[in-house]
């Protein structure tokens, strides 16, 4: 709690006489002007853009008392947070977290050492809004944008001198504090933001002696500046730095303890130059460099010997130019080209590896008649290591009336093989198996052969086919319906056919009986389902809403084997083998067939009191295989479905400049310590935020 | 009238068909009487004896001097390893292979594909999974649909389905089983098998 006092001090100094407003409080007429940029890489009205897109404003996030990206996304319709030990990522349309691209102001975040990008790395205190596009947008963004894109759009400063402080503190010593200030004139702005996020961690299974989440503290610093030379030329620079230290301490064996520190660092810099050739023709030149590093050093406490030492360093450099040209009022062309250079270096890789790639993309946005908007585009990616990719896309929206818009799209998405799949060179010291990335397999197996560790070769590494990117073909079809200004209803049907999923398979048997694994393009899977969401302003202060998703995600090869009668299970009582029926197959792990949420928001303008209540249900999902057939089918292989209740009450003071808030997450303290690692139980927070603006 | 005609035609045809199928049956010689023995062995104890020998022909455990015999035992259990009486495991000629099937639907033993035990390459492997840290933790669970087909030491065919590695063939989905302090003792094999004594590959 010691952080509170200086913050309150700052706020009381600057309280006097500044004009206040809660920036984004808006009436419903304003909603019609809602603009999104992520779906097409150009500003476009939310009602018209022909692909499924969700827009979450900073104001909604604040009313819910949320401060980190994982908290915000966990409450969205059609999104599940997965609790992998390597971090919390999101599942969209049944895809694993590695298949959703995470952007800040349109630029990709890196640092997916195991495919997951830890979402709690990202603060939502300095943002204007979050846009979520579902379905493949590889036609614009390239690799990783197979399930969708989450674009965090940081706030632009208001004119004059502004500033603010915000703090939230509660259960598990979770603390989040932010400070921001900015100055803006007609031609120039500069803004700075700092955030500290820390936690005392928690332990779901105290008997194990290993904390589920160890204590950590992280800092985010973000600076932006922009200068407009004249009407046609402007320059913008943004810099972001994130660092996080985590202290681990756990029991290893016989009352011995290991402890140490893990550090994560992320640095991004992006200068952007915009030039307007004419009102109709605008070019944007963007440079981007991102560096991501982790380092961990865990030692035995008694003799200081190394227990585990790892590092992972990644850099990403890009230059890109995009041109938007409006040929006519109803035809806009977008074209872009870029080059990228990436490097990675890590404990389990033989040496520093590098990639070079180049790409070009094109998009036409055409309104042949006023009601019909057709977007056609494609992107070509050429890469130094894996095969080139072409990702086309066609989307259209048709306004049956001002109130009802139909939308449909078809497109391809892809995900490049990740660094592990290409370069891993790892032998498990305890168990004795080895895993080689595709590029390392030949040399790795030869080396083992020379030292006499290979019993038999199953697949000759020299015959391995070049690893291909995973790819999908996706279809989305839905509508947006606003019959009256109080009601907004969306629905979307989706189907994703995914090919060339990269999986491990044994290529050799070692003399110790263990296998040598490498990576292959193996499986074909598909996901399909429907998602719908509705918001209704029941009467003036009370808004209700709800969302629902039905999802099926199956491995096509397993379905074929079931059809052929080659998949078996055991009767849990008699242990006798039975042939598995199609209806018993539960699909891919961690996919809930049913998820829904219910939302209530009561906003009393007179008193400035806002009450927000959300119920989020996640239906049962398979999380393990216990009958040994490799798939989910028996009841004991599922978790129980569960509901989380989150609530927040806030009151505004001093002409809306000051907000005091109590927030509860997981109010009914649901826990499943064996299965769900990211549910520490009930979390209660107290929060305070103060903002000012002086014109 | 017409209806009656068709009916009588149909009836006539049916009678003819029936008669001809009877004829056919009469032509085929009576099959030899199957000498199939089907049995379930409960809790074969691999605790009292570290290595447990079993004869499929007699359906009993083999002990003493007979364990050195080339023909008096077929299978040898040692913790999670199952060996056959051949190669590196015994003086006999028993061989085995694993077939993916249910026990009942495997009506004929394959005619080829059998292997003797060799160093690092036992004829029977992969019949179980070890759960490690997945619940139920640290359990040995037989993989469903892995039927061990044995060409026995006396040249006969048998099929074996391992049901459990734990005493009393317990359900492995209960909390009692998941809890390591209440889980029944391991190294008690329950399996069912069918032994064809007539020397054919048929399990009917």
Per-residue pLDDT band for A457 (boundaries 50, 70, 90) equals confident
The distance of A505 to chain B (nearest Cα, Å) reads: 16
The pLDDT of residue A18 is 35
What's the pLDDT score for residue A34? Answer: 84
Query: Given a cut of 60, is residue B5 above it in pLDDT?
Result: no
Between these two residues, A628 and A63, which has the higher pLDDT value?
A63
- When pLDDT is cut at 50, 70 and 90, the band that residue B6 belongs to is very low
User: What pLDDT digit, counting tens, does each position of A576-610 carry?
Assistant: 999 999 999 999 989 999 999 999 999 998 999 99
Any chain A CB within 8 A of the CB of B177? no
Which residues in chain B have their CB less than 8 angstroms from residue A628's CB? 128-129, 141-144
Residue A644 near residue A81 (C-beta atoms within 8 A): no
- Say yes or no: B8 contacts chain A, CB-CB below 8 A: no
Task: Please state the rounded mean pLDDT for residues A279-293.
Answer: 96
Nearest to A511 among B120, B141, B192 (CB): B120
Collapse the DSSP code of B176 into the 3-class scheme (helix H, G, I; strand E, B; otherwise coil) and give the result. helix
Contacts of A575 in chain B (CB under 8 A): 142, 163-164, 169, 171-172, 190
* Res B56 pLDDT > 50: yes
Say yes or no to pLDDT of A327 above 50: yes
pLDDT value at A652 more than 70: yes
**Which residues on A lie below 8 Å from B106 (Cβ)?**
none
List the single best residue of A508, A564, A574, A577 to mutate versus B (max B Cβ within 10 A): A577
Return the closest-CA partner of residue A419 out of A338, A308, A314. Answer: A314
- B135 pLDDT tier (thresholds 50, 70, 90): confident
Sign of CA dihedral A90, A93, A96, A102: negative
Region A512-521: what's the mean pLDDT? 85
The yes-or-no verdict on residue A664 having pLDDT over 90 is yes
Q: Are the Cβ atoms of B120 and A624 closer than 8 angstroms? A: no
- Using the Cβ of A431 and the Cβ atoms of chain B, whether some distance falls under 8 Å is answered with no
Report percent pLDDT > 90 for chain B. Answer: 60
The residue-averaged pLDDT of B65-81 equals: 91
Q: What are the phi and psi torsion angles at A253 (to 5°)?
A: -155, 155
- Tell me the average pLDDT across B114-125: 86
Answer whether B141 sits within 8 Å of A628, measured CB to CB: yes
B83 or A625, which is more confident: B83
Q: Minimal Cα–Cα distance from A572 to chain B, Å?
A: 5
On the question of pLDDT at A13 being above 50, the answer is no
Instruction: For chain A, positions 483-512, list CB contacts with chain B under 8 A.
Output: 511
Both tokens assigned to A174: 């979770």
Task: Please report the pLDDT score of residue A308 as a whole number.
Answer: 87
CB contact under 8 A, B163 and A574: yes
- Please give the average per-residue pLDDT across A300-323, as a whole number: 93
Q: Which of A352-366, A417-431, A507-521 ranks highest by mean pLDDT?
A: A352-366
pLDDT at A24: 38
Q: What is the pLDDT of residue A240?
A: 97
Residues of A (611-670) whose Cβ lies below 8 Å from B: 624-629, 634-636
**pLDDT of A675 higher than 70:** yes
> Residue B33: is its pLDDT beyond 60?
yes
Q: Is A437 helix (H, G, I), strand (E, B) or coil?
A: coil
A522 has pLDDT over 90: no
How confident is the model over A228-267, as pLDDT tens digits?
Answer: 999 999 999 999 999 999 998 888 877 888 999 999 999 9
Q: What is the pLDDT of residue A21?
A: 39
Contact across the interface for A635 and B128, Cβ inside 8 Å: no
Residues 541-580 of A with CB under 8 A from B: 566-570, 572-579
Tell me, what's the pLDDT at A189?
A: 96
**pLDDT for the residue B30:** 54
Query: For position A345, what pLDDT does the model report?
Result: 93
**CB distance B102–A513 less than 8 Å?**
no
Q: Which residues of A touch B129 (CB under 8 A)?
A: 628
Name the closest residue on chain A to residue B128, using Cα atoms: A628
Q: What is the mean pLDDT of chain B?
A: 84
Average pLDDT (A364-376) is 94
What distance in Å separates the CA atoms of residue A533 and residue A490, rounded to the nearest whole number?
5
Mean pLDDT lowest among A623-637, B22-36, B119-133: B22-36
Q: Provide, as residue numbers in chain A, all residues whose Cβ is less than 8 Å from the Cβ of B100.
A: 566, 568
- Say yes or no to pLDDT of A32 above 70: no
Closest approach of B154 to chain A, Cα-based (Å): 28
Chain A contact present for B178, CB below 8 A: no
What residues in A contact B102, CB-CB < 8 Å? 568, 577-579
Contact A577 B103 (CB under 8 A): yes
CA-to-CA separations, A180 to A14, A69, A120, A130, B139, in angstroms, rounded: 13, 18, 20, 19, 54
| Exposed/middle/buried for residue B5 (C-beta within 10 Å: 0-12, 13-18, 19+) | exposed
B144–A629 C-beta distance less than 8 A: yes
For residues A553-558, give the mean pLDDT. 93
Task: Determine the Cα–Cα distance for residues A106 and A275; give it in Å rounded to an integer.
Answer: 18
- In angstroms, the CA B82 to CA B55 distance is 13
Enter the ipTM: 0.77
Residue B28 has pLDDT above 80, yes or no: no
* Of A114-128, A483-497, A507-521, minimum mean pLDDT range: A507-521
Name the least confident of A60-64, A348-352, A673-677, B14-18: B14-18
Q: What is the pLDDT of residue A428?
A: 81
Q: Are B120 and A513 an interchain contact pair (Cβ–Cβ within 8 Å)?
A: yes
Specify the pairing of strand A683-694 against strand B157-166.
unpaired
Q: Where are the domains of chain B?
A: 30-196
The nearest alpha carbon in chain B to A623 belongs to: B134
Residues of B in contact with A455 (CB under 8 A): 120
Which among A579, A626, A674 has CB closest to B131? Answer: A626
Query: Looking at the partner chain, which of B102, B103, B135 has a beta carbon nearest the beta carbon of A624?
Result: B135
Secondary structure letter of residue A113 according to DSSP: T
**B119 confidence band (pLDDT: 50, 70, 90):** confident
Contact between residue A609 and residue A650 where contact means Cβ atoms under 8 Å apart: yes
Please tell me which residue, B138 or B131, carries the higher pLDDT value: B138
What is the Cα–Cα distance from A572 to B164, expressed in whole angstroms?
11
Q: What is the pLDDT of residues A88-113, one digit of tens each?
A: 899 999 999 999 999 999 999 998 86
CB contact under 8 A, A575 and B169: yes
Please check the confidence at residue A401 and state whether its pLDDT lies above 50: yes
A477 C-beta neighbours (distance < 10 Å), count:
16
pLDDT digits 0-9 by tens, A377-398: 999 999 888 889 999 999 999 9
| pLDDT at residue A571 greater than cutoff 50 | yes
CA distance to partner chain A, nearest, from residue B85 (Å): 21
Going by pLDDT thresholds of 50, 70 and 90, the confidence category of residue B77 is very high
Q: Does A452 touch chain B (CB under 8 A)?
A: no
B-chain CB neighbours of A627 within 8 Å are 141, 144
Q: What confidence tier does B4 reach under pLDDT thresholds 50, 70, 90? A: very low
Number of inter-chain CB pairs under 8 A, A vs B: 66
Residues A579, B163: C-beta atoms closer than 8 Å: no
Q: How far is A576 from chain B (nearest CA, A)?
A: 6
Contacts of B136 in chain A (CB under 8 A): 626
Which residue out of B100, B144, B149, B161 would a mutagenesis test of the A interface target, given it has the greatest number of A Cβ atoms within 10 Å? B144
Contacts with A453 from chain B: Cβ below 8 Å = none
**Cβ(B51)–Cβ(B78) under 8 Å?**
yes
C-beta atoms of A577 and B105 within 8 A: no
pLDDT of A114-147, one tens digit each?
778 889 989 999 999 999 999 998 888 988 899 9
Beta bridge partners of A427: A434
What value does the mean pLDDT take over residues A548-568?
Answer: 94
Q: Of B105, B136, B163, which has the smallest distance from its Cβ to A576's Cβ?
A: B163
Quote the pLDDT of residue A377: 94
CA distance A290 to B23: 86
Distance CA A365, CA A332 (A): 5
User: Is A575's CB within 8 Å of B172's CB?
Assistant: yes
Measured between beta carbons, the chain B residues lying within 8 angstroms of A629 are 143-145
| pLDDT above 60: residue A286 | yes
| E strand spans, A400-486 | 404-415, 425-427, 434-436, 454-457, 470-481
pLDDT class for A150, splitting at 50, 70, 90? very high
Closest CA to A570 of B20, B139, B94, B119: B139
Output the pLDDT for position A682.
Answer: 96
- Greater confidence (A378 vs A455) lies with A378
pLDDT at A255: 81
Decide: A128 and A156 in contact? Cβ < 8 Å.
Answer: yes
Interchain proximity B144–A674, CB inside 8 Å: no
Q: How much is the mean pLDDT over chain A?
A: 90
Residue of A nearest to B99 (CA): A566
pLDDT score of A48: 86
Across A25-34, A41-50, A436-445, least confident range: A25-34
């Amino acid at each position: 709690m010691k952080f509170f006092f200086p913050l309150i001090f700052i706020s009381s100094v600057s309280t006097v006489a500044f004009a206040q407003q809660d920036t984004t409080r808006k009436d419903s007429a304003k909603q019609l002007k809602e603009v999104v940029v992520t779906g097409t890489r150009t500003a476009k009205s939310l009602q018209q853009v022909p692909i499924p897109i969700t827009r979450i404003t900073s104001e909604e996030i604040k009313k819910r008392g949320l401060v980190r990206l994982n908290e915000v996304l966990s409450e969205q319709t059609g999104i599940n947070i997965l609790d992998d030990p390597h971090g919390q990522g999101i599942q969209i349309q049944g895809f694993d977290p590695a298949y959703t691209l995470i952007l800040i102001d349109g630029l990709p975040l890196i640092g997916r050492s195991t495919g997951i990008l830890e979402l709690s790395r990202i603060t939502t205190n300095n943002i204007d809004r979050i846009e979520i596009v579902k379905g493949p947008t590889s036609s614009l963004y390239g690799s990783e944008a197979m399930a969708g894109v989450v674009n965090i759009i940081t706030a632009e400063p208001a004119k004059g001198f502004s500033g603010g402080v915000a703090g939230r503190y509660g259960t598990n010593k979770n603390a989040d504090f932010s400070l921001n200030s900015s100055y803006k004139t007609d031609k120039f702005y500069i803004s700075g933001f700092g955030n500290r996020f820390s936690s005392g961690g928690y332990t779901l299974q105290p008997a194990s002696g290993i904390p589920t989440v160890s204590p950590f503290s992280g800092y985010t610093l973000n600076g932006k500046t922009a200068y407009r030379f004249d009407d046609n030329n402007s320059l913008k620079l943004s810099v972001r730095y994130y660092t996080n230290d985590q202290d681990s301490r756990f029991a290893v064996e016989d009352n011995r303890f290991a402890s140490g520190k893990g550090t994560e660092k992320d640095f991004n810099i992006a200068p952007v130059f915009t030039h307007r050739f004419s009102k109709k023709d605008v070019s944007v030149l963007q440079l981007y460099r991102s560096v991501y590093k982790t380092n961990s050093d865990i030692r035995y406490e008694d003799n200081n010997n190394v227990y585990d030492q790892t590092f992972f360093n990644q850099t990403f450099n890009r230059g890109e130019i995009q041109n938007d040209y409006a040929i006519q009022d109803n035809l806009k062309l977008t074209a872009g080209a870029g080059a990228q250079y990436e490097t990675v270096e890590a404990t389990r890789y033989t040496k520093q590896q590098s990639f070079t790639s180049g790409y070009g993309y094109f998009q036409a946005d055409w309104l042949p008649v006023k009601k019909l908007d057709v977007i056609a585009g494609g992107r070509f990616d050429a890469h130094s290591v894996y095969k080139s990719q072409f990702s086309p896309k066609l989307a259209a929206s048709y306004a049956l009336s001002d109130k009802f818009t139909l939308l449909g799209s078809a497109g391809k998405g892809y995900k490049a093989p990740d660094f592990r799949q290409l370069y891993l060179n790892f032998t498990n010291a305890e168990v004795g198996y080895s895993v080689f990335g595709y590029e390392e397999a030949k040399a790795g197996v030869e080396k083992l052969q020379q030292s006499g560790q290979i019993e038999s070769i199953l697949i000759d590494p020299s015959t391995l086919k070049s690893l291909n990117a995973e790819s999908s073909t996706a279809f989305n079809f839905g509508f947006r319906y606003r019959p009256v200004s109080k009601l907004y209803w969306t629905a979307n049907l989706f189907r994703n056919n995914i090919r060339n999923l990269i999986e491990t398979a044994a290529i050799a048997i070692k003399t110790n009986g263990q296998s040598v694994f490498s990576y292959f393009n193996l499986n074909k899977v598909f996901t399909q389902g429907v998602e719908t969401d509705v918001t209704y302003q029941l009467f003036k202060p009370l808004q209700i809403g709800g969302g629902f998703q039905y999802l099926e995600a199956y491995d096509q090869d397993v379905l074929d084997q079931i059809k052929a009668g080659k998949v078996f299970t055991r009767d849990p009582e008699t242990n006798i083998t039975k042939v598995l029926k199609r209806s018993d197959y539960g699909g891919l792990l961690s996919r809930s067939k049913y998820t829904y949420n219910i939302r209530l928001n009561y906003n009393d303008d007179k008193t400035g009191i806002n009450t927000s209540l959300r119920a989020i249900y996640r239906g049962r999902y398979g999380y393990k295989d216990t009958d040994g057939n490799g798939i989910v089918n028996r009841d004991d292989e599922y978790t129980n479905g569960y509901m989380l209740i989150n609530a927040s009450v806030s009151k505004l003071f001093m002409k809306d400049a000051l907000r005091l808030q109590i927030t509860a997450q997981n109010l009914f303290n649901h826990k499943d310590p064996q299965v769900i690692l990211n549910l520490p139980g009930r979390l209660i927070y107290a929060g305070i935020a103060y903002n000012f603006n002086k014109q | 009238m017409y209806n009656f005609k068709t009916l009588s035609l149909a009836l006539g045809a049916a009678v003819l068909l029936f008669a001809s199928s009877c004829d056919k049956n009469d032509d085929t010689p009576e099959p030899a009487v199957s000498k199939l023995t089907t049995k379930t062995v409960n809790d074969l104890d691999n605790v009292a004896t570290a290595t447990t020998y079993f004869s499929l022909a007699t359906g009993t455990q083999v002990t003493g001097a007979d364990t050195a015999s080339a023909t008096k035992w077929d299978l040898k259990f040692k913790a999670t390893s199952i060996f056959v009486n051949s190669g590196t495991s015994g003086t006999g000629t028993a061989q085995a292979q694993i077939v993916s099937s249910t026990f009942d639907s495997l009506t004929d033993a394959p005619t080829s594909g059998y292997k003797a035990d060799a160093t690092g390459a036992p004829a029977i492997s992969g019949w179980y999974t070890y759960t490690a840290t997945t619940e139920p933790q640290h359990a040995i669970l037989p993989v469903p649909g892995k039927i061990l087909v044995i060409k026995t030491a006396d040249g006969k065919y048998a099929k074996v389905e391992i049901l459990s590695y734990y005493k009393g063939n317990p359900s492995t989905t209960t909390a009692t089983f998941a809890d390591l302090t209440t889980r029944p003792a391991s190294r008690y094999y329950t399996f069912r098998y069918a032994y064809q004594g007539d020397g054919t590959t048929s399990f009917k």
